[in-house]
Amino acid sequence: MTDVSDWWRTSIIEMEPGKIHLRGHPIQDLIGTRSFSEMIWMMVRGDMPSPAQSKLFEAALVAAVDHGPQAPSIAAARMAVTCGLPLNNAMASAVNMLGDVHGGAGEQAVEMYHHIQEFDGDLAAALDDWMALRGKIIPGFGHRFHTPIDPRAPRLMTLVEEAVKADACCGAFLAIARGVENELAVRKNRPIPMNIDGATAVIYAELGFAPPLARGLFCLSRSVGILAHSWEQMQQGGRNKGPTPPHYRWTYDKP
Amino acid sequence: MTDVSDWWRTSIIEMEPGKIHLRGHPIQDLIGTRSFSEMIWMMVRGDMPSPAQSKLFEAALVAAVDHGPQAPSIAAARMAVTCGLPLNNAMASAVNMLGDVHGGAGEQAVEMYHHIQEFDGDLAAALDDWMALRGKIIPGFGHRFHTPIDPRAPRLMTLVEEAVKADACCGAFLAIARGVENELAVRKNRPIPMNIDGATAVIYAELGFAPPLARGLFCLSRSVGILAHSWEQMQQGGRNKGPTPPHYRWTYDKP
Amino acid sequence: MTDVSDWWRTSIIEMEPGKIHLRGHPIQDLIGTRSFSEMIWMMVRGDMPSPAQSKLFEAALVAAVDHGPQAPSIAAARMAVTCGLPLNNAMASAVNMLGDVHGGAGEQAVEMYHHIQEFDGDLAAALDDWMALRGKIIPGFGHRFHTPIDPRAPRLMTLVEEAVKADACCGAFLAIARGVENELAVRKNRPIPMNIDGATAVIYAELGFAPPLARGLFCLSRSVGILAHSWEQMQQGGRNKGPTPPHYRWTYDKP
Amino acid sequence: MTDVSDWWRTSIIEMEPGKIHLRGHPIQDLIGTRSFSEMIWMMVRGDMPSPAQSKLFEAALVAAVDHGPQAPSIAAARMAVTCGLPLNNAMASAVNMLGDVHGGAGEQAVEMYHHIQEFDGDLAAALDDWMALRGKIIPGFGHRFHTPIDPRAPRLMTLVEEAVKADACCGAFLAIARGVENELAVRKNRPIPMNIDGATAVIYAELGFAPPLARGLFCLSRSVGILAHSWEQMQQGGRNKGPTPPHYRWTYDKP
């Protein structure tokens, strides 16, 4: 018979009255000595990042904090505040929206990079195989708004190059992502540059994070913008703010 | 007539194709130069913290990342994963639970510190006035589990003392919180020591964060533990894990 | 020591392998014999409504199912679907928004009706007392959109009158609500007619539901519109639909 | 250029000041004349069910309202209430949990019935094909708790038979589901009887609801139990109730 105290098991935290150990470290030894991003790494993976890994990891977290109130998640947070929700519920409403389409591109891009890496054949064939399996949208490349280029991606790629030089990662996924970018440009006869999701996916893949964590870490990162916008809206006031002003409503489609 | 583009207003982000400025800074200048906790501060408040402020702020964020799967929020995250939810929905389910009782003590403690600071009378009278208005539970003091003491609080208070010496804050709220601790010990004839919420509230109050942000920042911090536990549960597997094993169900109360 | 099987207690459901009793009734005796609205009543309260009570209760549930995609909740559901969320997560995102401002007016109106009923003094004095305690917004009266009148309210009040004749309720809260409507018209020198929340609050108060259930039942009712809109959006398609079209973004407020 | 009022389109609701039409019907004509379950049908599909269709549809909604606080969703609702959340946020936390594993079996069973119906080959071959595509778990059959039989399923199947006689549906999916049950019994050499999800899936498929709606309608149905349990917990009180009593915590797995 399963003992009830066995029902939940974890190697993340060990606790006794007066004692909290996270990943084997007394919490009081972590407070004031570890950065918040090091804590994120350690909590998720168990080990501590090297300084160079930490720097690269932090860059990915910083890059994705916000993309404005046009994004469904940020809009949801702001709407939620005007519905009377406190910050925890507003933040949850927003993070909940980071589904496959809104928050999943990073995860899918890591999967695609892995797929290409493990594929028996060249990159073009690997990409075809991916598209046959997963559809025509190439996660992490192209942007409906940021033309010609998403300013976050080249900056992040420069940091990956520096990290490769510092032996924080090996560069294999950077090479794959650049290969995808080149291949897409050839196929479409115009640049389809890497976007924020493709770029953070390179970093998460280089650092050895599993694909679902690209989404999970994005949720953490975007939670920063979500909090900032929720709080700004709380100070602006407003009651039951829907998507558009009251006199712009919707189009009724007669059945 | 309100123009529709005026319906949402923000001073957090300015965006054009190829341009993302956060609080006036081009995103590419922030990536690789700013820490994640500096970004959190800047996004929420607009300005940049000093190094000493940043160190203190980071300690508060680090301290509250996890308190184990016994907490309803972490349990909710793990249960959600076994229901088939991806990480964004699992994280949202957990953050949603950080309501007045589970996630509100920090916010309430900042309110109480402000109330005491602004009260016309001594600390004991201010505390009585608070209890008359808000009830007998003193937010941020005492712990049902960590006896004699929550190991996070004294460590954080040491860091506040260092920050006062470094002119990162003035120490007024540290003094108030210590006053509350002393007053409670006298009244109850036993120690009711400051807990994690009382301690992070000192930090957030010292750094000038409004009370609701104590909750908002706690949500960010606890999201780290939520992500770690969600991911660990995802690797453990399990389907529809309820709170207890199937043969420990519930007590039926005959009406 | 608390036995773990005592941790959760309920008088709603009794279960053994092959046996499910709800409020003392075998589930198989309820299926096919009880209406969905009777089940809602029975699950929440324990007893069964009379036919006249059931009719009135059902009218309140029917009346509030939808108020269009301008409402933050419905908008959230539709946005969520375009973010790739399945229906359960889209519905949750929307119901979460039914906070104090968006979904709380019915609950507050029941509280106000109770306050007036229990007040030692006439209705005008009771209303003044309520406003002194709770602020100037009178929950359940007036509508920013439906002028001169919300078509749901008079229809519901007719049904309450019929229910009083059928002894399904006593009419005390109907009288109070009409008194509030008259008093407001006198004070403002123009009609401030009862809206959907004021009307359903009369029904829930007449039928003996506690104030928080006015919100809970509204959540059930509005979940119908939420499901319908989520599903319609799923069929329409769309990816990451924010509140407004991409070229209508937001106004950047220079700090 | 897309006009902003075109951004959201719906054929569900038409609204002008003083006018609310749902699916073409003035709301005041629906209130007091239509049952709640008829409204659900109409809102989701546009048309009105026949009396026999309505009866069958209502049975499915009634059958799935609750399965006790052992279920992650109900547990989440009760935990949420003890965290200080009002009913809307508690209900949202619970509905959010009805993901692929916890709330998706009905949807998957409808998909499987459709797959079998459209398959070019006999039922056994169709089932093999399904399992090759979707894995070994047959949605809607077998129950880890209700042995020998889930009492809801046979009762619902009796009602489907009656509905076939009343021409409310044709019985094709009833036949398929019975075929699956027989085939599984032969393959496993023991009964793997239809459960609640398999049974409601027969009804939703018979009535022509698309697969995702089996989940959406389940969410509506289970929201009833979620509300009842949330409210019961609110009356019981309790603060921060985790999954198990405080002294039953978790097992720490040394890394």
Rounded to whole angstroms, how far apart are CA atoms C222 and C94? 9
Q: Do B250 and C24 touch (CB under 8 A)?
A: no
- The pair of structure tokens assigned to B139 is 């937010």
| Sign of the torsion formed by the C-alpha atoms of D28, C123, C57 and D13 | positive
How near does any CA of chain B get to the CA of C85, in Å? 9
| C167-190 per-position pLDDT tens digit | 999 999 999 999 999 999 999 999
- The pair of structure tokens assigned to A182 is 């080149």
ipTM of the complex: 0.97
* Residues C141/C201, Cβ–Cβ less than 8 Å: no
User: Looking at beta carbons, which residues of chain D come within 8 Å of B81?
Assistant: none
Could you write out the DSSP letters of every residue in chain A? ---GGGSSEESSEEEETTEEEETTEEHHHHTTTS-HHHHHHHHHHSS---HHHHHHHHHHHHHTS---TTSHHHHHHHHHHHTT--HHHHHHHHHHT--TTTT-HHHHHHHHHHHHHH-SS-HHHHHHHHHHHH-S--TTB--SSS-S--THHHHHHHHHHHHHHTTSS-SHHHHHHHHHHHHHHHHHTS---B-HHHHHHHHHHHTT--HHHHHHHHHHHHHHHHHHHHHHHHHH--SS--SS-TTS--EE---
How near does any CA of chain C get to the CA of B89, in Å? 7
| pLDDT for the residue numbered A2 | 53
Taking a contact as any Cβ pair under 8 Å apart, which residues of chain C between 67 and 86 contact chain A? Answer: 68-73, 75-76, 79-80, 82-85
| C126-178 per-position pLDDT tens digit | 999 999 999 999 999 998 788 888 999 999 999 999 999 999 999 999 999 99
Which residue in this structure is represented by tokens 């498929």?
D205
Best of D1, D78, D93, D144 to disrupt the B interface by mutation (most B CBs within 10 Å)?
A: D93
Each residue's pLDDT expressed in tens, for chain D with a length of 255 residues: 456 778 999 999 999 999 999 999 999 999 999 999 999 999 999 999 999 999 999 999 999 999 999 999 999 999 999 999 999 999 999 999 999 999 999 999 999 999 999 999 999 999 999 999 999 999 999 987 888 889 999 999 999 999 999 999 999 999 999 999 999 999 999 999 999 999 999 999 999 999 999 999 999 999 999 999 999 999 999 999 999 888 778 999 987
Chains that touch A (3 or more CB pairs under 8 A): B, C, D
User: Looking at beta carbons, which residues of chain D come within 8 Å of A244?
Assistant: 4-5, 7-8
Residue of B nearest to A1 (CA): B247
- Whether pLDDT at A189 is above 60: yes
| pLDDT for the residue numbered C133 | 96
Pick D68's closest partner by Cβ from C13, C91, C213: C13
Could you write out the DSSP letters of every residue in D13-51? EEEETTEEEETTEEHHHHTTTS-HHHHHHHHHHSS---H
By the 10 Å C-beta count (0-12 exposed, 13-18 middle, 19+ buried), D103 is classed as buried
Rounded to whole angstroms, how far apart are CA atoms A198 and A63? 12
| pLDDT for the residue numbered B1 | 44
Q: Parallel, antiparallel, or unpaired for β A13-16 and A19-22? A: antiparallel
Best of B56, B88, B249 to disrupt the A interface by mutation (most A CBs within 10 Å)?
A: B88
Q: CB distance from D135 to chain B under 8 Å?
A: no
- The pair of structure tokens assigned to B137 is 């539970």
- The pair of structure tokens assigned to B21 is 């400025």
Pick D212's closest partner by Cβ from C18, C87, C158: C87
- The pair of structure tokens assigned to A205 is 């893949």
Encode burial over A87-98: b for 16+ CB neighbours within 10 A, e otherwise: bbbbbbbbbbbb
Residue of D nearest to A254 (CA): D11
Best of A9, A33, A36 to disrupt the B interface by mutation (most B CBs within 10 Å)?
A: A36
SS3 D85: coil
Residue of D nearest to C29 (CA): D155
Mean of pLDDT values over C200-211: 98
pLDDT band at B2 (very low <50, low <70, confident <90, very high): low
| pLDDT for the residue numbered D159 | 98
Residue of B nearest to A17 (CA): B146
In the predicted model, what is the mean pLDDT of chain B? 95
Best of D240, D251, D254 to disrupt the A interface by mutation (most A CBs within 10 Å)?
A: D251
| pLDDT for the residue numbered C1 | 43
Q: Find residue B252's DSSP bridge partners.
A: C10
pTM above 0.95, yes or no: yes
Q: Parallel, antiparallel, or unpaired for β B9-10 and D13-16? A: unpaired
SS3 D169: coil
| pLDDT for the residue numbered C2 | 53
* Residues A12/B66, Cβ–Cβ less than 8 Å: yes
How near does any CA of chain D get to the CA of C96, in Å? 5
Q: CB distance from B17 to chain A under 8 Å?
A: yes
CA B216 from centre of chain: 6
Measured between alpha carbons, how far is residue C98 from residues A84, C20, C221, C234 in Å? 8, 31, 12, 22
Residue % of chain B over a pLDDT of 90: 91
| pLDDT for the residue numbered D2 | 55
Residue of B nearest to C21 (CA): B252
Q: Where are the domains of chain A?
A: 105-213
Write down the CATH number for the domain with range C105-213.
Answer: 1.10.230.10
Nearest to A144 by CA among C238, D104, C147: C238
